[in-house]
Amino acid sequence: MPFTENDLPNLQGRHVVVTGANSGIGLEAARALAGAGAHVVLACRSRDKGERAMAEIRLATPKANLTLESLDLASLDSIRGFAERMSTALPSIDVLVNNAGIMAIPRTTTADGFEMQMGTNHLGHFALTGRLLPLLLAAPSSRVVNVSSLGHRFVHRVKLDDLHATRGYQKWIVYCRTKLANLLFTFELQRRFEAARKSTIAVACHPGFSNTNLQFVGPRLEGSKLMEAVMRWNNTYLAQSAREGALPTLYAATASDVRGGEYFGPNGLFEIRGTPTRAHVARPARDPEAARALFELSERETGVRYDFHAPAPSVHLS
């Protein structure tokens, strides 16, 4: 039987954090998780958009247990502040969905000087996960769900000697490298959970090709009406809906047969659309040496060290 939102387990009492929860896949995942009873923290960079997202979710689930929190993944300060607030507000985190992302934008940098796509899609989530680690480890069998992409297949490596693409920036190649980084991070994190004998798992997913805002951000920043029109046509005629695209995320976040280090995507032709199944992992994503090196570089870049034995924060009620 194909997996649908109706297959979500009862999530009452579970705390779930979704980054980029105001739009596209993140909004659909947050809505479904809240509908299944979870307390969902919507981690958004825009308060206005976050409030509109909460109102939309409450249309479907009037009693949804939602918290809106500011998080800008393009700022290590913002990430630290978010994690500090979480550690006083929550006893633990059952699922962290590292979903937020940007695609193929002109080269800019984050508050910390990171190239924006790598800084947001990979390094921001790397820093966030490391800072939330005590809360994740405080929940039995908690999950880190990283949202990657079919795009990871189009590159051979993450350039560790030029992570911020200072030489010859190519916006699509850099995006694909960030999505390869998402998978390398997932598999290395899973190895480290296992080595530390923790029940927390790291898994990944991708939404195939889904009709969201992702495709329009780059053309709008470039002021290209033509590319915006091309993207709109593609999204209208080729993509599946954001709701369908969120299913692999929901499966990875909640299904009982999910194991650490697995990767889920749509089951249709070329994994572009369909219901969740185990997805193809390209060979460069399965390189443990590349994954270890990226993990260590990410610790140095962000200044966030992963401590798998840190005590759980003493707290709190949500």
Window of 34-42, 95-103, 273-281, 295-303 that interacts with ligand NAP by CB under 6 A = 95-103
Q: Which residue is nearest to ligand NAP (CB)?
A: 24
List the one residue from 72, 94, 271, 301 that touches ligand NAP (CB under 6 A): 72
User: Does 159 participate in binding ligand NAP (rule CB under 6 A)?
Assistant: no
Residue number, 58 or 243, with CB nearest to ligand NAP: 243
Query: DSSP letters along the chain, please?
Result: ----GGGPPP-TT-EEEEETTTSHHHHHHHHHHHHTT-EEEEEES-HHHHHHHHHHHHHH-TT-EEEEEE--TT-HHHHHHHHHHHHHH-S--SEEEE-----SPPP-B-TTS-BHHIIIIIIIHHHHHHHHHHHHHTSTT-EEEEE--GGGGG-S---GGGTT--SS--HHHHHHHHHHHHHHHHHHHHHHHHHTT-S-EEEEE---SEESSHHHHHHHHHT-HHHHHHHHHHHHHTPEEHHHHTHHHHHHHH-TT--TT-EEEE-SGGGSSSSEEEPP--GGGG-HHHHHHHHHHHHHHH-----TTPPPPP----
List the one residue from 117, 149, 254, 302 that touches ligand NAP (CB under 6 A): 149
User: Does 99 participate in binding ligand NAP (rule CB under 6 A)?
Assistant: yes
Window of 14-22, 223-231, 255-263, 309-317 that interacts with ligand NAP by CB under 6 A = 14-22
List the one residue from 15, 17, 20, 142 that touches ligand NAP (CB under 6 A): 20
List the one residue from 65, 67, 87, 120 that touches ligand NAP (CB under 6 A): 120
Residue number, 66 or 137, with CB nearest to ligand NAP: 66
User: Does 214 participate in binding ligand NAP (rule CB under 6 A)?
Assistant: yes
Residues in contact with ligand NAP, total (CB under 6 A)? Answer: 30
User: Does 49 participate in binding ligand NAP (rule CB under 6 A)?
Assistant: yes
CB of 194 to ligand NAP, least distance (A): 25
Chain residues that interact with ligand NAP, rule: CB under 6 A: 19-20, 22-26, 45-46, 49, 71-74, 99-103, 120, 147, 149, 206-207, 209-210, 212-214, 245
